Structure 1
Amino acid sequence: MSREQRQFIQCVAALTMLIDHIGVVFFPAVMGFRAIGRLSFPLFAFGIAQGVAYTSDFRKYFIRILIAAVISQPIYMNLFGMSQLNPLFMLAWGAAALHFWKKDRKTLAGILLIGCYFMDMSYGWYGVWTIFFFGFYGVKDSLCFYGQVIINALYGLTTGAWIQILSLFSFGFLDGKWRIQALARKLPRYFFYVFYPLHLAVLWGIKAMI
């Protein structure tokens, strides 16, 4: 998959996340926003899995995610009225689990994959395992897809949030034919690390003024 394709996927992830958060903050009764937003997280998870696969320095990659997570946390808590860790902490956790698995440090990876169940992070174990299964995309596609089906079913059974099953439609965007050149232009290297806290801050500001 080319860099342009990966950036297109990241653009779709950012856009659908923004739509989801607009719905949560301003239109909580309109489920259409939430339905569209279900496409977002799997695409971010795919991006993390790709980042683990292609980064030349995992430590720096991991630290960048953590810095963005720490900056975003107070904004996240005030905007959504939640005390749990924001999704970027979960993305960092999932990246570490996948990295250690790929480096054949299976015991440490296993500890992280099991330990995430006990962490109070947005998306929690579901998010970490989503990243883990996306780590097999392009190598064992069937394991990637059916792994997603299983964890989405488990997530629905344990939380009752069956709307998350719509996230499986995100696989459609992983096909190169969906690429739109206008959205696949080269983006600044740290665009998405800035976009997450920035969009939360903007929504928080608008909410405070209403």
Structure 2
Amino acid sequence: MKKIFTGSTLKIIAVLSMTLDHFSKIILKDGIILNAPYSMFTDAQFNILMILSDVFSILGRIAFPIFCFLLVEGFLHTHDLKRYFLNLGIFAIISEPVYDLAIAGTAFSFTQQNALFTLLLGLGVLVLVKKIKQNSIVSIIIIFLGAVISFICKLDGWYYGICLIAVFYLFHDKTALKTILAVLVMYVCGLDFSIWGLIEPNFLSALTSLIFINLYNGQRGIKMKYFFYWFYPTHLFLFFLISTYIVIPMVS
């Protein structure tokens, strides 16, 4: 199989997926569906809105595994780990009030923290795992503690993100095993252990990300180092403004 995707291509795919997810949540669901009076849409029109929201949300599941994978690639290839930490930390802090506004409707909410904090914690886990090198038991403990911290702090992605980051790092050069374990993480973290859990749309969408990841050719591609850092809070803020000051007044 020819590997055709550069790192920048993967990042663009993930950004598009994430944008659809947030558009579904902030504009369609929180903006229109939850605020429009019953008389504004016919049943057929409202069903189309619901389906569209669900489809965009499902497609949004592609983004997070790719971002976790790209974090590992960044960790393995960065020439300045301290700056990598600093950039993630600064933009996680900048993004938090914007994320809270867009997702919770208030500038300060402890309901859930933005995904950059999950990636930052994942990066810290990788640093510690690398330091202890071949001690697998200690590595497992570090990863477990990272997953627990992500759960306690209610980071977007929770233990799912930490486990994926660990799998992508520990089995970086073992494509088949890495893919199998990533599928297992997605299934287990989906918390649906029935047959339906194997064909659940969000699970299948997340699996799609592994196709893109396995087509990665190891090249960086277009230089867009700070694109995602700025895009993340910017698009959330724009969606919040559109939903709050255009969509909701229009449908209410």
Name the TM tier (shorter chain).
0.7 to 0.9
Residue 188 (structure 1) aligned to one of 198, 210, 224 = 224
Structure 1 distance, partners of 2:87, 2:70, is 14
Give the 3 Å change call, closer, same or farther, for CA 139–19 of structure 1 in structure 2.
same
Aligned to 2:117: 89
Structure 1 distance, partners of 2:116, 2:235, is 14
Q: Does 1:173 align with 2:212?
A: yes
Aligned to 2:7: 6
- The 8 Å contact of residues 90 and 128 in structure 1, kept in 2 or not, is answered as yes
Taking CA–CA contacts closer than 8 Å with sequence separation of 6 or more, which of the two structures ends up with the larger relative contact order? 2
- The 8 Å contact of residues 7 and 221 in structure 2, kept in 1 or not, is answered as no
Aligned to 2:36: none
Aligned to 1:33: 56
Question: Helix, strand or coil: the match of 1:122?
Answer: coil
Match of 2:122, as an amino acid? G
> For this pair of structures, how many residues does the alignment match?
204
Structure 1 distance, partners of 2:158, 2:103, is 17
Write out per-residue CA displacement over residues 81-119 of structure 1, whole angstroms, 9 at most, x where no aligned residue.
163211110010011112221232646734334433332
Write out per-residue CA displacement over residues 52-103 of structure 1, whole angstroms, 9 at most, x where no aligned residue.
1111221210111111110010111111116321111001001111222123
- The 8 Å contact of residues 16 and 36 in structure 1, kept in 2 or not, is answered as yes
Give the 3 Å change call, closer, same or farther, for CA 195–146 of structure 1 in structure 2.
same
1:135 CA displacement: 1.4
Q: How does 1:8-157 map to 2 (within 5 A)?
A: 8-28=9-29, 29=50, 30-81=53-104, 83-104=111-132, 106=138, 109-110=142-143, 111-136=145-170, 138-157=172-191
Q: Does 1:199 align with 2:231?
A: no
Q: Which has the larger radius of gyration?
A: 2
Structure 2 distance, partners of 1:88, 1:177, is 22
Match of 2:70, as an amino acid? G
Structure 1 distance, partners of 2:26, 2:125, is 32
Structure 2 distance, partners of 1:141, 1:209, is 47
The Cα RMSD (Å) is: 2.8
- What percentage of residue pairs aligned between the two structures are identical? 27
Give the 3 Å change call, closer, same or farther, for CA 113–79 of structure 1 in structure 2.
closer
1:156 CA displacement: 1.8
